[in-house]
Structure 1
């Protein structure tokens, strides 16, 4: 089975980037995917990922292919 390792602090960096730019890059999306698959993230980190995904669904955050 493929093991996905999340970089330490990656979720916080993605949150700061989205707060500054209001968009997610493709690499941000892969980071979020790794976070979702990582069972060792904290409850706070899980809530942050959920907030980001809700923002995308509501149209507050755009997804871009390259930046």
Structure 2
């Protein structure tokens, strides 16, 4: 059974902005990506943003960290 996950409006763009600033993908970001990927009503722009972020991750421009948030 897939849990009921709901994205906050503007969450993808905020995640992309934060990730491009910190170059880190946190646990919260990964949960947000999971919720976004499972959302069938995701806009094409949000899908492209996710694709860009995943490509940056594969190229080593973004690091996966085990912190829940990068906010100090």
- TM-score when scaled to structure 1? 0.91
Structure 1 residue runs without a partner (length 5+): none
Aligned length: 67
CA distance in 2, matches of 1:57, 1:33: 17
Note the C-alpha offset of 1:54: 1.1
Root-mean-square deviation (CA, aligned residues, Å) is 1.0
Could you tell me which residue of structure 2 aligns to residue 28 of structure 1? 29
Note the C-alpha offset of 1:29: 0.6
Greater helix content: 1
Could you tell me which residue of structure 2 aligns to residue 15 of structure 1? 16
Structure 2 residue runs without a partner (length 5+): none
- TM-score when scaled to structure 2? 0.86
